[in-house]
Amino acid sequence: MNDASPQTIYLKDYTPPAYLVETVELTFRLAPAATRVVSRISFRPNPDATTKDFVLHGSDMSLLWAKIDGAEITPSISATGLTCEVPNAPFIWEAEVEIAPDANTALEGLYMSNGMYCTQCEAEGFRRITYYPDRPDVMAVFTVRIESDLPVLLSNGNPTGSGEGWAEWHDPWPKPAYLFALVAGDLIAHTGSFTTQSGRDVALNIWVREDDIGKCAFGMDALKKSMRWDEEVYGREYDLDIFNIVAVDDFNAGAMENKGLNIFNSSAVLASPETATDSDFERIEAIIAHEYFHNWTGNRITCRDWFQLCLKEGLTVFRDQQFTGDMRGHAVKRIVDAIDLRAFQFPEDNGTLSHPVRPESFVEINNFYTATVYEKGAEVIGMLKRLVGDAAYQSALDLYFDRHDGEAATIEDWLAVFEDSTGRDLAQFKRWYQQAGTPRITVTDSFVDGTYTLHLAQETPSTPGQSVKHPFVIPVAVGLLGQNGQEVVPTTVLELTQAEQSFHFEGLSGRPLPSILRGFSAPVILKQSQTGAEQAFLLAHDTDPFNAWEAGQNLARAGLTAMILDDAKPDRAFLDALRLAIADEEKDPAYRAMLLALPSQENLAQALFDAGHTPDPDRIYASHKALREAIANHCQAILSRLYDEHQLTGPFSPDASAAGKRALTNAALRYLSLSDGPSRAQAQFDTADNMTQQLAALSALLSIDAGRDALSAFEAHWSKDRLVMNKWFALQVASAEPENAVAVTEALTQHPAFNWKNPNRFRSVVGALPRNQAGFHRADGAGYRLLADWLIRLDAMNPMVAARMTTAFQTMSRWDAGRQAHMRDALRQIATAPGLSRDTAEMVDRLLG
């Protein structure tokens, strides 16, 4: 598995496939240690090819025999594939290989999870199943026969026959191999049905183990909503007779959009009020939508090569964000997306792992399923939509589906659709796909004779391999407020295209207060000097809900910065402004819960670093805690009222309005536990009938060191529920005091229920440590060492998950010399581990710079 000399692959080297595939017939004879896969593939030379070499990818399998047009051949085989002589005309390839799903701990290809067989082929897992041209621009029609004693045998497309010990499936839609899927297991289905807008009846199933059948209803509902939404908003209808979802316990990612057979990490589909929190419900709804939406953006139109990953992922994330906004409210959704972008993408864009939305090279493609490709990729589409307008966006998408259905497309194709349908030149806009790094926009302004001038300057710091940056096209949504908070200029989108540019607003009676980057109209860092009074004013009056929230965050951040750097006391102006804002019954509860959340410790470290300071995680932790206490005391009366008045009665509903009330009461509860002690939280813990309130109460208790008994009670009650126990593990790591976090993590790895081979469990223990900032970044380096030790161990089993977790080191340059030295040591320790995977080796190499 470990390549001696990993190859770098470049976008510029793309060449079309030498041979195309018409049809693929696969027969699987399933057995844990020796599954046989017989393939029959019809190839034809590609008229557009630049070579005639016949190369099939393949690894971790043994070839039993191979034939071309019925005649046995002996290909030359390497660790990564095979090659042989072929006719210069269409021909039939047949082969039989043997693979061992039970030995597949990487969870790529065909593997086993709790006695069931399942597959994960994106990006390059199919080559572990049989020899094949495993690249997304080779699209073929698949027919699959599965032979096994297990009761449920599934593959892509429509079922075409089944009997005792076998089933056959046919997928009429040509697809790349990465969308192939197979599942075999002792499963039962939660069933449903959907009639498409043209009247096609579709059978829907969520396949689970028997114990989980009570956790499927919400997912089924989310699936139906997604199907309807894609018809109504994008005019896209489902195209098979059946849509299957399967829940799998061991899964490297969230879920996978295999044609007609989506495979889900059980944490991304299973939910009941007793076991799932409101955030779980929201996440599940979004992931089900995301995978379903891929049916058009990803499957019907796929990617020419893996450099184009953002073509399907950026667009599909953008679509799932629109969907969640429509389902649950756009204001809060935009805030949540901005928080996540800043928490996960900004550190990536500003560290050694920085790469363009469309990368230009990679060693291991699994390392590029990143926040930049996904979330920044979605932001780029949001900007495009803002620039061309909603109607033009819709026509461009219609053209995209018309023009490229059934194809493997590129970012050039995507942009050409917008250019052709709007007449706009997008050459400069394309830089968003090519240049890495987060642009900084510096704002200055002036007011003379009734004319207000905004001067915007953009600058993007250099990133690895890209020292020179050219200006981006940046849509900057701006509104101007008058003295009483009235809107004197409503939201206007300014197009910043040059390094520096001025924008004038004439005929004003007085100097306005600008509200800039409304709705977070571009993924940039805004630098403007605002007084505390202006921030408080915007928090109270800005009609743009995003910027009102942003103003509150800026005010909080300024106060926290003074506490961290200058030992200042909590800012009274912030406390007053916050108290006023949360008392406003006009504002929706979910929104007020967002107002109550302080900028994270990670966000503060990032902001301090950006302002030229070296952040001290312990001081950040202490100031954060002190400000939380100050809020608790300052707002006690109103928080206590909010807690009482927004309690819900009646049966649990996971809908946005009920979830918003729980978010508000739980935010209040956390503060009230600081000011008033544990009694409210203990009472809520004892009486909660849903996981949202139970977990929030437990977390509030742990935050004041009063959760020991509750923690044991929780464990005793939930020890049989894997997904709930993941929360129990993760919460302890997250809420540990900085000096205890490493010890707590270490102790939990000794817990009998810690199973490091299950990715979810590993992530909820070892993977939770980096999220405890002060605990992970302990000055003596113990956090780094613990992570390094575990990643080395995990890498031998599951390179993809291990490589992903090395990103905990991506903020290295932010910290002081001592911490940097410890981080480097930890990375070097990983780098020199014997037999390190290509995945992790590439990451560590990039991290070390």
User: In the complex, what is the shortest distance from the CB of residue 835 to Zn ion, in angstroms, rounded to a whole number?
Assistant: 31
The one among 146, 167, 256, 384 contacting ligand 0A1 by CB under 6 A? 256
Q: Which is nearer to Zn ion, 257 or 839 (CB)?
A: 257
DSSP SS3 for 363: coil
Reply yes or no on whether 96 is catalytic.
no
127 binding partner (options ligand 0A1, Zn ion, none; Cβ < 5 to 8 Å by kind): none
* Distance (Å, whole) CA 768 – CA 757: 16
Catalytic, out of 257, 282, 291, 313 = 291
Confirm or reject binding of residue 252 to ligand 0A1 (CB under 6 A): yes
The one among 253, 284, 311, 695 contacting ligand 0A1 by CB under 6 A? 253
H or E element at residue 713: helix 708-718
Confirm or reject binding of residue 120 to ligand 0A1 (CB under 6 A): yes
**Beta strand segments in 497-577, E:** 500-505, 513-516, 525-527
* Distance (Å, whole) CA 723 – CA 19: 45
Count of residues of this chain found to bind ligand 0A1 when the rule CB under 6 A is applied: 12
User: In the complex, what is the shortest distance from the CB of residue 297 to Zn ion, in angstroms, rounded to a whole number?
Assistant: 9
* Distance (Å, whole) CA 4 – CA 597: 48
Q: How far is CA 756 from the centre of its chain?
A: 22
> Per-residue x/- mask for ligand 0A1, residues 267 to 306, rule CB under 6 A?
-----------------------xx---------------
Residue 847: name the closest of 795, 804, 800, 817 by CA: 804
**Residue numbers 356-415 binding ligand 0A1 by CB under 6 A:** 369
User: In the complex, what is the shortest distance from the CB of residue 429 to Zn ion, in angstroms, rounded to a whole number?
Assistant: 23
256 binding partner (options Zn ion, ligand 0A1, none; Cβ < 5 to 8 Å by kind): ligand 0A1
Q: Which is nearer to Zn ion, 258 or 603 (CB)?
A: 258
**Residue numbers 611-630 binding ligand 0A1 by CB under 6 A:** none
Cβ(710)–Cβ(717) below 8 Å = no
Q: How far is CA 579 from the centre of its chain?
A: 33
Cβ(457)–Cβ(542) below 8 Å = no
122 binding partner (options Zn ion, ligand 0A1, none; Cβ < 5 to 8 Å by kind): ligand 0A1
Q: Is residue 705 classed exposed, middle or buried when 0-12, 13-18 and 19+ CB atoms within 10 A define those classes?
A: exposed
Q: Which is nearer to ligand 0A1, 124 or 349 (CB)?
A: 124
Q: Which residue has the tokens 């928090």?
A: 539
* Distance (Å, whole) CA 332 – CA 315: 21
691 vs 214, 276, 642, CA distance in Å?
15, 5, 20
Confirm or reject binding of residue 257 to ligand 0A1 (CB under 6 A): yes
14 binding partner (options Zn ion, ligand 0A1, none; Cβ < 5 to 8 Å by kind): none
Residue 750: which residues within 8 A CB-CB, separation 6 or more?
A: none
Confirm or reject binding of residue 119 to ligand 0A1 (CB under 6 A): no
120 binding partner (options Zn ion, ligand 0A1, none; Cβ < 5 to 8 Å by kind): ligand 0A1
* Distance (Å, whole) CA 60 – CA 395: 46
369 binding partner (options ligand 0A1, Zn ion, none; Cβ < 5 to 8 Å by kind): ligand 0A1
Q: Which is nearer to Zn ion, 309 or 516 (CB)?
A: 309
Backbone dihedral angles phi then psi of residue 409, each to the nearest 5 degrees: -110, 175
User: Which residues of the shown chain bind Zn ion in the complex (CB under 5 A)?
Assistant: 313, 316
The one among 21, 66, 255, 598 contacting ligand 0A1 by CB under 6 A? 255
503 binding partner (options Zn ion, ligand 0A1, none; Cβ < 5 to 8 Å by kind): none
Q: Which residue has the tokens 């005793």?
A: 716
Q: Which is nearer to Zn ion, 262 or 690 (CB)?
A: 262
- Helix ranges, 405-465 (H): 411-422, 431-434
User: In the complex, what is the shortest distance from the CB of residue 294 to Zn ion, in angstroms, rounded to a whole number?
Assistant: 6
Confirm or reject binding of residue 571 to ligand 0A1 (CB under 6 A): no
Q: Which is nearer to ligand 0A1, 257 or 542 (CB)?
A: 257
Q: Which two tokens stand for residue 328?
A: 């649950």
Residue 69: left (phi > 0), alpha (psi -120 to 50), or beta? left
* Distance (Å, whole) CA 451 – CA 460: 29
Q: Which two tokens stand for residue 585?
A: 């019954």
Confirm or reject binding of residue 313 to ligand 0A1 (CB under 6 A): yes
Q: Which two tokens stand for residue 76?
A: 């030359």
Q: Which is nearer to ligand 0A1, 535 or 837 (CB)?
A: 837
Q: Which residues are part of the catalytic machinery?
A: 291
Residues that bind ligand 0A1 (CB under 6 A): 120, 122, 252-257, 290-291, 313, 369
